[in-house]
Structure 1
């Protein structure tokens, strides 16, 4: 059930006072038109009409007593929404949320569809075709995406947001990143498998394989020891039976380097090393939950 629109301002409503839409709008921080929809949608209970002189005529204004408003809030029942002859978007504005309750109401569905279309239009306005092409050309030439976005007169946030909404642009963007593969680590050492390999993304690789691997990491289901499992896989790729032997063989490396190679956080490496020192050789690290390190 939708939260009653007056719930956030219940403490400020005086039962002995009366309120117009403008008064409620000021209390709630919304527009008078929004407060008017609450009244027309039945959220505010029974109000009274008053005629206000205006120029050569009068203006009708609705007024609700504080007691009626508090009673309507306490009842906390969804009002009946007049679907006909109102459009679905109008009924949604009045508070209709019936979808999924065994009805054929399409107000929420229409609202969601129009919202998606509105977001696509805004994203396209922020990132028009000419800027998209300049951005892609810069990325194909080897310019990192943040600098490419600046050269195209936009932001990386706008480009990434448009990639989420437009599959065609996303495919072009991912292909363009093939030219951004980092061949060597910052120290000058070549990677055995640069793009998509262990630690390449952490060391600044913007290439396609690293990007896709990084994106997949966000979609992986959380597990009780995902960081330790990932570290064990990378230790096995390097020819070690487990993480313990890998840490023992690379005792001279810093925690930051080991974290990049094992694909975990530095804190996890430090914790595993502390566990090994406390338990002695032959013990297994990660006795505690590593979460998503």
Structure 2
């Protein structure tokens, strides 16, 4: 396993001083995780300095000490001391750490997707579809400036939005209640109403 400082060692100035916030930023790691590593001896020997304007002390490392630490023997990956997030970033791939990583990645992607598809754009998609101003949900997404994956992804995660999308999608039906409504032939003919869409995707109730 590689030392966490190894991939930033070329950015460490031997004559400079570094504190936990500096290291957290350089390592792209939460301050809490960086603090845990610091007190676990991962960054080598540090000095103590008084915090300006406060009654307390904090650790400070010279760049030379950090560079030296990259070549030292690594402390053990103690699962009773470190969180799964910290251990994963250190290179642990056990089941618990892998589960944390997968959950973190999924939540991060969802948060990024939700940021790109905020409430205002959601309402616009629903309004376009329900008003029949578009021929498909995909066209509504394109006009609003989001991807169809973001629309359907939110519909799967958010039950309320999913139901609203299905209700709005009924306005896209080209033959409501007709003999082909909800059948594959209608979808092939261009209908993108809720019933035909569900039949096509295999999600019909």
Number of the residue aligned with 1:243: none
Aligned equivalents of 1:146, 1:57: Cα separation in 2? 54
In structure 1, list runs of 5 or more residues that go unmatched.
6-19, 26-31, 35-48, 50-55, 65-79, 100-105, 185-190, 218-293
Conserved 8 A contact 1:127-1:158: yes
Higher relative contact order (CA 8 A, sep 6+): 2
Structure 2 residue ranges without an equivalent (≥5):
11-25, 29-43, 45-61
SS in 2 for 1:201: helix
CA distance in 1, matches of 2:8, 2:108: 31
What's the offset of the Cα at 1:176? 1.3
SS in 2 for 1:58: helix
- 2-structure distance, mates of 1:216, 1:57: 59
| Distance (whole Å) between structure 1 residues aligned to residue 198 and residue 106 of structure 2 | 25
Retained in 1: the 8 A contact 2:183–2:199? no
CA contact (8 A) 1:120 1:165 kept: no
Asked if residue 167 in structure 1 is aligned to residue 159 in structure 2, the reply is: yes
Contact 1:195 1:208 in 2 (8 A): no
For 2:93 and 2:112, locate their aligned partners in 1 and report how far apart those are by CA, in whole Å: 26
Matches of 2:115 and 2:63, distance apart in 1? 44
Please state if 1:176 is matched with 2:146. Answer: no
Return the TM-score normalized by structure 2. Answer: 0.58
Partner of 1:154: 146
2:91 alignment partner in structure 1: 95
Report the equivalent of 1:203: 189
The CA deviation string for residues 136-172 of structure 1, in whole angstroms up to 9 with x for no partner, is 0110111221321233332323212322332221121
Q: 1:69-84, aligned counterparts within 5 Å?
A: 81-84=77-80
Aligned to 2:41: none
Judging changes above 3 Å, is the alpha-carbon distance between structure 1 residues 182 and 194 closer, same or farther for their aligned structure 2 residues? farther
The residue that corresponds to 2:123 in the other structure is 133
Q: What is the TM-score when the length of structure 1 is the normalising length?
A: 0.42
C-alpha displacement at 1:173, in angstroms?
A: 0.9
Judged with a 3 Å threshold, the aligned counterparts in structure 2 of structure 1 residues 166 and 153 are, in CA distance, closer, same or farther, namely same
Q: In angstroms, what is the RMSD of aligned CA positions?
A: 3.6
1:119 equivalent to 2:109? Answer yes
- Between the aligned partners of 1:175 and 1:201, the Cα distance in structure 2 is 18
Count of matched residue positions in the alignment of Structure 1 and Structure 2: 148
Q: Which has the larger radius of gyration?
A: 1
